[in-house]
Amino acid sequence: MTLPYQIRFDQIEWETPMIGVRQKYADRDGRRIRLVEYSKGMPPHWCEKGHCGYLISGKMEIEYADGTITYCQGDGIYIPDGPSHKHRGKVLSDKALVFFMEKI
């Protein structure tokens, strides 16, 4: 059995779904595992899909409905489900690399 963190992301091509964002993703057991690279060129955006992640490198700020949290390398990130928990991401370093896991 292949566990989510054993996915070989080095064998998956990068996609560019929006300006300032590159990602690789694979689906496993009803979850999507994503490796996302954000840069300062990323426009402000909102995400309504719940997911948890781990900041591999860089520094980013996430604006939640009830406040803003700054994440640094090694921090775990949790973004709840639903539109009442919208957040906006802002990259503080040149790039931030995040490993996300989310419901499909």
**Beta-sheet pairing, 67-72 with 76-79:** unpaired
Position 5 confidence tier, pLDDT thresholds 50, 70, 90: low
Helix, strand, or coil (residue 11): helix
pLDDT at 2 exceeding the cut of 70: no
Q: What is the pLDDT of residue 84?
A: 67
Position 35 confidence tier, pLDDT thresholds 50, 70, 90: very high
Per-residue pLDDT of 37-72, as tens digits, reads 999 988 877 777 788 999 999 999 988 888 899 999
The dihedral through the CA atoms of 9, 102, 59, 76 has a sign that is negative
What are φ and ψ of residue 10, in 5° steps? -70, -15
